[in-house]
């Protein structure tokens, strides 16, 4: 199984999991969707399931940052705006290290609409 992907039964998540050794590569990708979550966020889990089931969402690089994972201190220092996130899931689209847009909430159709611009 590819690093960053996890299996829940027969379903493999399309969201790779950021960690201390790969987050910079993800944030600096040419185009990446990033979902910020926490391990106990039910709405985040529902959004991830909806993304996995939605074939119209076909961005190559999609990532989740689990904010309560250990080892993400440097990410939180370098991206200090993360401390202002108050509603999860928090979604962002990055291109070459720059945030293009961001929004809160777990609507996969809204995500589909946002990604269609790119």
Helices (H), the chain: 23-27, 42-53, 73-78, 108-115
User: Is pLDDT larger for residue 41 or for residue 115?
Assistant: 41
Enumerate the domain spans of the chain: 7-115
Would you state the pLDDT for residue 58? 87
What's the rounded Cα separation, in Å, for the pair 62 and 75?
Answer: 17
Q: Which pLDDT belongs to residue 10?
A: 52
Predicted confidence (pLDDT) per residue in 75-113, tens digit? 999 999 999 999 999 999 999 999 999 999 999 999 999
pLDDT at 6 over 50: no
Average pLDDT estimate for 54-72: 95
Q: Indicate the CATH number of 7-115 among 3.40.30.10, 3.90.1170.10, 3.30.420.40, 3.90.600.10.
A: 3.40.30.10
């Amino acid at each position: 199984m590819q690093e960053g992907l996890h299996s829940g039964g027969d379903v493999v998540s399309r969201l790779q999991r950021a960690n201390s050794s790969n987050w910079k590569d993800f944030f600096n990708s040419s185009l990446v969707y990033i979902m910020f979550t926490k391990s106990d966020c039910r709405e985040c889990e529902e959004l991830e399931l909806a993304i996995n089931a939605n074939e119209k969402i076909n961005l190559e690089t999609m990532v989740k940052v689990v904010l309560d994972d250990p080892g993400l201190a440097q990410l939180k220092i370098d991206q200090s705006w993360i401390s202002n996130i108050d509603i999860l899931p928090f979604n962002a689209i990055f291109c070459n290290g720059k945030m293009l847009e961001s929004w809160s909430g777990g609507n996969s159709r809204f995500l589909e609409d946002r990604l269609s611009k790119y």
